[in-house]
Amino acid sequence: MKKLIPWYCLLILLLSGPTLYAAPSAEQLILKAEEARKGAADLGFEWRDTATLIAEAREALEKGHEKQAAMLAGEALRQGELAVGQGTFMHNHWQEFIPVH
Amino acid sequence: MKKISQSRMFLLLLPITMLWSCQTKDYSALVNKDIEEFRAYFTERFPEVELDDFADGVYAIDDNAREQWLAMEDFPPYSIAVEEGQALFENSFSNGKTYTDCFPEGGAVRHNYPYFDEQRNMVVTLEMAINECRSANGEPPLEYKKGDIAKISSYMAYISRGKPVEVKVSSQGAYEAYLKGKEFFYAKRGQLNMSCAGCHMRYSGRRLRSEVISPALGHPVHFPVFRLKWGEIGTLQRRYAGCNRNIGAKPLAIQGEEYRNLEFFQTVMSNGMHFNGPASRK
């Protein structure tokens, strides 16, 4: 019986692996994307299409198109995060971009 | 004993000296240095162009486009907007008053805007003042981008032609607003990671598809403009929103703090030039 314990542990790990490392759901991605979009907007650096992508992701999710919704929300999240990075960087470094004559 | 009293005296005088130096900070000198550098960038880039000619935008630097523009100026497409603007300006509000009760000199006050309102601690633009005049007289505000407000603004710009740009930055509040506008102008944004300066300084005079990019110097002095693309007259901040959209950034609120500060900064950079709006552009 004692010999089987490691095997049981391994079995549990294998079964729980997909649950532990599952990709975030479309709904989670939408929430994250919205949070990132708001962060970018607070900095005054929101990108043009982020809100549209989030709205499209929500619509796709309502229609039951989980995969498409996740793809759209993932792109919105990427944009939101990049915009936050851009805004944060620019607030601290904008003077480096003054062209010199 | 003597040493202690000296150090005490120093400690007493330090905050007073600091306060004095803060109060007497020469904001005009700081801004004038910026104007000098900004102007030098363009005068070195386009040495054949006179300062006031930069008010003509891209038509100051592109001979071919200038010829077409001058031909168009024989019957300028903004003239109808100016006429309609005059009629709107002279119309009485429901309380019997008119815009002349808000604006002196019959409305020829384009050169007084934008300015920094010390009491409200904010930049006030001409379009904003038009709407404030309406609100003060019980009228609903007009939409900011185009339509009647752009027509009234066009008329006021037209009768103010030739007046010098003399925007003052003489307080800490004004300087902070100016700096915010300056930051907006130079900070890259949007999906294309571009700034106002990126296009209208670094790439001014170069081609963007079929169009030559205009220099930033003098941008605000010829607005409002009748853009052929719009097919109507529009305000400077409408153009800001369009520019932001073009580079993949979400446009900010028209007449919001960011765009007002940007307009303030850009107009300060045009100090010494003369208002020549409204104008026609592609």
pLDDT tens-digit series, residues B116-127:
999 999 999 999
Residue B275 lies in a domain: yes
pLDDT tens for each residue of B134-187: 999 999 999 999 999 999 999 999 999 999 999 999 999 999 999 999 999 999
CA distance A33 to A38: 9
| Chain B residue whose CA is closest to A99 | B202
| Chain A residue whose CA is closest to B245 | A48
- Over residues A76-80, the mean pLDDT reads 98
CA distance B280 to B272: 22
Q: For chain B, say whether A101 makes contact (Cβ under 8 Å).
A: yes
* The pLDDT of residue B7: 59
* The pLDDT of residue A12: 67
Q: Copy the structure tokens of residue A74.
A: 């993932």
Question: Could you give the 3-state DSSP secondary structure of residue B280?
Answer: strand
CA distance B136 to A23: 57
Instruction: Read off the pLDDT band of A15 (50, 70, 90).
Output: low
| Chain B residue whose CA is closest to A79 | B191
- Over residues B87-95, the mean pLDDT reads 96
DSSP B69-95: HHHHTTS-TTHHHHHHHHHHHHSPPTT
Q: Which of B78, B85, B102 is nearest to B151 (CA)?
A: B85
* The pLDDT of residue A73: 98
- Over residues B211-234, the mean pLDDT reads 95
Contact between B213 and B199 under an 8 Å Cβ cutoff? The reply is: yes
* The pLDDT of residue A5: 74
- To the nearest whole percent, how much of chain A has pLDDT over 70? 84
Task: Check whether B4 has a pLDDT greater than 70.
Answer: no
Catalytic annotation, residues of B: 243
* The pLDDT of residue A10: 64
- Domain with B229, as residue range(s), is 27-282
Task: Check whether B58 has a pLDDT greater than 70.
Answer: yes
Chain A hits for B195, CB-CB cut-off 8 Å, are: 97
Residue B15 lies in a domain: no
| Packed helices B79-90 and B148-158: angle between N→C axes, nearest 10 degrees | 100
Strand partners, B281: B227
Buried b (16+ CB within 10 A) or exposed e, A51-72: bebbebbbebbeeeeeebbbbb
Task: Check whether B246 has a pLDDT greater than 50.
Answer: yes
CA distance B114 to B136: 19
Task: Check whether B22 has a pLDDT greater than 70.
Answer: no
Residue B124 lies in a domain: yes
Instruction: Read off the pLDDT band of B92 (50, 70, 90).
Output: very high
Q: For chain B, say whether A41 makes contact (Cβ under 8 Å).
A: yes
Residue B19 lies in a domain: no
Q: For chain B, say whether A97 makes contact (Cβ under 8 Å).
A: yes
CA distance B255 to B142: 12
- Over residues B29-53, the mean pLDDT reads 95
Please give the C-alpha separations between residue B238 and each of A11, B84, B149, B256, B260, in angstroms, as whole numbers: 63, 20, 12, 12, 12
Pairing between β-strand B115-117 and β-strand B122-124 as defined by DSSP bridges: antiparallel
- Over residues B74-91, the mean pLDDT reads 96
Please give the C-alpha separations between residue B204 and each of A94, B144, B168, B169, B247, in angstroms, as whole numbers: 19, 28, 27, 27, 16
B164: left (phi over 0), alpha (psi -120 to 50) or beta: beta
Instruction: Read off the pLDDT band of B17 (50, 70, 90).
Output: low
pLDDT tens for each residue of A16-50: 655 555 678 999 999 999 999 999 999 999 999 99
Instruction: Read off the pLDDT band of B33 (50, 70, 90).
Output: very high
Chain B hits for A94, CB-CB cut-off 8 Å, are: 183, 186-187
Taking all residues of chain B, what is their mean pLDDT, rounded to a whole number?
92
Chain A hits for B183, CB-CB cut-off 8 Å, are: 90-91, 94
Q: Copy the structure tokens of residue B68.
A: 């077409």
Chain A hits for B47, CB-CB cut-off 8 Å, are: none
* The pLDDT of residue A6: 72
Q: Copy the structure tokens of residue B104.
A: 């002196």
CA distance B246 to B250: 9
Q: For chain A, say whether B189 makes contact (Cβ under 8 Å).
A: yes
Write the residue in A48, A51, A97 that is nearest to B197 by C-beta: A97
Residue B274 lies in a domain: yes
Chain A hits for B244, CB-CB cut-off 8 Å, are: 48
Instruction: Read off the pLDDT band of B1 (50, 70, 90).
Output: very low
- To the nearest whole percent, how much of chain A has pLDDT over 90? 74
Residue B22 lies in a domain: no
Q: For chain A, say whether B45 makes contact (Cβ under 8 Å).
A: yes
Instruction: Read off the pLDDT band of B200 (50, 70, 90).
Output: very high
Q: What are the φ/ψ torsions at residue B165 (nearest 5 degrees)?
A: -85, 120
* The pLDDT of residue B23: 55
Question: Could you give the 3-state DSSP secondary structure of residue A48?
Answer: coil
Distance from the Cα of A2 to chain B's closest Cα (Å) equals 60
Question: Could you give the 3-state DSSP secondary structure of residue B211?
Answer: strand
A86 vs B245: CB contact, 8 Å cut-off? no
Number of domains in chain B: 1
* The pLDDT of residue A40: 98
- To the nearest whole percent, how much of chain B has pLDDT over 90? 88
Distance from the Cα of A69 to chain B's closest Cα (Å) equals 21
A99 vs B41: CB contact, 8 Å cut-off? yes
* The pLDDT of residue B14: 56
Residue B75 lies in a domain: yes
Residue with tokens 């470094």, as numbered in its chain: A93
Residue B4 lies in a domain: no
Task: Check whether B216 has a pLDDT greater than 60.
Answer: yes
Question: Could you give the 3-state DSSP secondary structure of residue B218?
Answer: coil
- Over residues A64-76, the mean pLDDT reads 97
Q: What CATH number should be reported for the domain holding residue B243?
A: 1.10.760.10
Instruction: Read off the pLDDT band of B282 (50, 70, 90).
Output: confident
